Amino acid sequence: MNAMSVLLSQNATRKSIQRGQSYFRDGAVGRLVRRGDELEADVEGTESDPYRVWVQFEDDEVSDTGCTCPYDYGGWCKHIVAVLLAYDQHPNQVVIRPPLATQLATLDREQLLALVLELADQTARLNETIDAILPDITRIAPVESAASTVSTVSTVSTASTTLPVPPIPPELVNAQALRQGVRNAISAHGDWDNDSGNDDYGTIHDIVELAKQAQPALDAGAGRMALAVLETVTDEFSNHWQILDERGEDPGDFFDKTQALWSEALLDPDLSAEERQHWVERLEDWEVDFDETVTPRLQLLQTAVRQGWDDPTLCAILRGEETSEGLWGDATPPYDQRVRIAQARLRILEQTGQPEAYLNLAKAEQQYGDYALKLLQLDRVPDAITAGLELPLSDGGMLELAKALYQRGEIEAAFRVAEHGAQRPGNLGPKGAMLTDRARESGEFGLYGARFQSELAGWLRDRAAEHGQIERALAAGLIAFRIAPSVAAYLRVEALAGVNWPEARQPLLDVLRQETRVRSDVKIDIFLRENLIDDAIATLERHYASPETLARVMDGAIKHRPEWVIAQARKLAEPIMDEAKAAHYEEAAQWLRKAKLAYAALGQQAQWRDYLDALRDKHQRKYKLTPLLKAL
């Protein structure tokens, strides 16, 4: 299994990989263009317009991916898989271009103006987009001390004075098109791709995609425009949600997936007190329109907009003061819900240039990864390292902090942070009361997930090895394998262990024998590689395996367990012949060939001939089977 196969198996489902391979073979991937650390390509699908795929690299490793298709069910979509396969197998066909920012930096004012005017002339509705965003490009965010809350008035600087920015008119939102889009999604049952087979992306997913049209407005600081988009989509959804409820789709999913958008839009510091009250009332209206399962989500948004930026407790937190009950008091919502509101506030504080307030809120709201990274951004490196070692960052946060430290040349600090994260009790299994409490505390924040745990340990393993720190790399490799066993992780430990491999090998095999969560094909691949046939057979007896995997085990067991191979071959082949399943006769013959080899391994060629003669007599009238049996 090469590196690309390992990468795909870790990040995409088997079905996505198979379809991506088909797209790649069929030539659906367009021209590959790499600009700096980003790869882009179009992939032809069943729609008239191709899907756009981008892949972000960091240190020549894939750090992020995206695709314009609606797929959102388990890892990378088939289009991303197809692009990565093309990039891996045809590297000479990649067009290398400088990043767009580099190209634009070479233009003077007149050239930039000519470029924008030409684009506006060629691109439909670009004029309106420019009208909407242009006022915010020159916007100067209020930079205040941590003792102040976010300003509620946006300003634009001129040579002589500072004037209020005119609000972005919500009328620029095409409400009719958005409402029609919601109705189309409902009537189409979410069937966006005729070749999607059993992949059901869901109507709510399509409606959420419409709501995501608010994101560009938020990126431009146009909160009112974002609210207009969200209100239109949500209001139309409120008229039809019962239809989806009857189909088995949960309307609460819509609010879960749009809460981050709603939170940032409602917390726009430009909103007046009257506007905030309007949105509280609007959310209350939707409480009546939807059923009670949606109520907690809407009430949480109401609480956030009531708090705004002038809530006394919030102001105290932003100033760095201790509060007795925290921002939410006794009614603290679940972490996965309040984190979206916290992230919206942090994003606004970042945009408005208030680093101390950012730090205070991040720490109070337990966004420890953001807290540590902000410290690093402010060149407070020792404080960032302390945060990474003493605060319960998520595994993803630990990994991001370690990488950021590494990029700054803080190699040992990066390794210490990664090592600390990889060795936490949630990763290795808590032992003792103190560690159990620590794991429980960290678990409240959703810190432990196999993907980021494995990435964290794997990153430490590979970087430490590059720096010649083999002992540290080997320890990380053992952890990476224990968290997410795979053939690639196993081989990395073998390479690092060197002469100590026999000693390091046994704990890895014990993990495979004891852990029920490990995929059976991973276990079998490793057991066969180590010639542990009995372990491979035991895995087959406890777990389902594909016919291909079963065949590999039988091939490996012919010399070691020939009786088992004969029994399996007969068990698989005889029902096919007895039930006259003509379409599968070749498959039956393949199983019988393995039985023949097993009889030979036992020195029982005579018994094989007797068995084969009996089969020929029994099935002599099956003219499609007869030549296959004669060939044996």
The predicted structure's pLDDT at residue 172: 60
Return the closest-CA partner of residue 280 out of 261, 270, 267, 293: 267
Within its chain, how far is the Cα of 523 from the centroid? Answer: 25
Q: What is the mean pLDDT of residues 67-84?
A: 86
Give the bridge partners for 12, in sequence order: 75
pLDDT score of 199 more than 70: no
The predicted structure's pLDDT at residue 432: 33
Give the model's confidence band at 383: pLDDT under 50 very low, under 70 low, under 90 confident, else very high.
very high
Return the closest-CA partner of residue 272 out of 133, 151, 136: 151
Q: How many residues does the chain have?
A: 632
Cβ–Cβ under 8 Å, residues 536 and 557: yes
Q: How far apart are CA 492 and CA 494, in angstroms?
A: 5
pLDDT digits (tens, 9 = 90+) for 304-315: 999 999 999 999
Q: By percentage, how much of the chain surpasses pLDDT 70?
A: 85
The predicted structure's pLDDT at residue 395: 86
- CA end-to-end span of the chain: 33
β-strands 33-35, 162-164 pairing: unpaired
The predicted structure's pLDDT at residue 187: 79
The predicted structure's pLDDT at residue 3: 82
Provide the H-helix boundaries in 445-546.
450-466, 470-483, 487-497, 501-514, 520-529, 533-542
Q: How far apart are CA 439 and CA 258, in angstroms?
A: 30
Mutual orientation of helices 273-289 and 295-307 as an angle, nearest 10°? Answer: 170
Q: What is the mean pLDDT of residues 29-36?
A: 90
Mutual orientation of helices 252-266 and 295-307 as an angle, nearest 10°? Answer: 10
CA distances from 600 to 97, 537, 593, 595 (A): 61, 20, 11, 9
Q: How far apart are CA 155 and CA 353, in angstroms?
A: 14
pLDDT score of 123 more than 50: yes
pLDDT score of 158 more than 50: no
pLDDT digits (tens, 9 = 90+) for 259-275: 999 999 999 999 999 99
The predicted structure's pLDDT at residue 298: 92
Sheet order of strands, 162-164 included: 139-140, 155-157, 162-164
**Maximum average pLDDT range among 61-70, 147-156, 456-465:** 456-465
Cβ–Cβ under 8 Å, residues 237 and 207: yes
pLDDT score of 444 more than 50: no
Q: By percentage, how much of the chain surpasses pLDDT 90?
A: 49
CB count within 10 Å of CB 518 equals: 18
Give the model's confidence band at 217: pLDDT under 50 very low, under 70 low, under 90 confident, else very high.
confident
Mean pLDDT lowest among 86-100, 501-515, 571-585 = 86-100
The predicted structure's pLDDT at residue 496: 94
Q: What is the mean pLDDT of residues 87-104?
A: 83
pLDDT digits (tens, 9 = 90+) for 495-553: 999 999 998 999 999 989 888 778 888 999 999 999 999 999 999 888 877 888 899 99
Q: What is the mean pLDDT of residues 94-106?
A: 78
pLDDT digits (tens, 9 = 90+) for 163-186: 333 444 555 677 888 888 888 888
Mean pLDDT lowest among 63-72, 149-158, 595-604 = 149-158
- Mean of per-residue pLDDT scores for the chain: 83
Give the model's confidence band at 135: pLDDT under 50 very low, under 70 low, under 90 confident, else very high.
low
pLDDT score of 434 more than 70: no
Q: What b-and-e string marks burial along 201-238, b requiring 16 or more CB atoms within 10 Å of the CB?
A: bbbbbbbbbbbebbeebbebbbbbbbbbbbbbbbbbbb
Give the model's confidence band at 189: pLDDT under 50 very low, under 70 low, under 90 confident, else very high.
low
Q: What is the mean pLDDT of residues 78-100?
A: 88
What SS3 state is found at 185?
Answer: helix
Cβ–Cβ under 8 Å, residues 28 and 97: no
Q: How far apart are CA 267 and CA 279, in angstroms?
A: 11
The three-state (H, E, C) secondary structure of 388-414, written as one string: HHHCCCCHHHHHHHHHHHHHCCCHHHH
Give the model's confidence band at 292: pLDDT under 50 very low, under 70 low, under 90 confident, else very high.
confident
pLDDT score of 248 more than 90: no
The predicted structure's pLDDT at residue 610: 93
pLDDT score of 338 more than 80: yes
The predicted structure's pLDDT at residue 234: 92
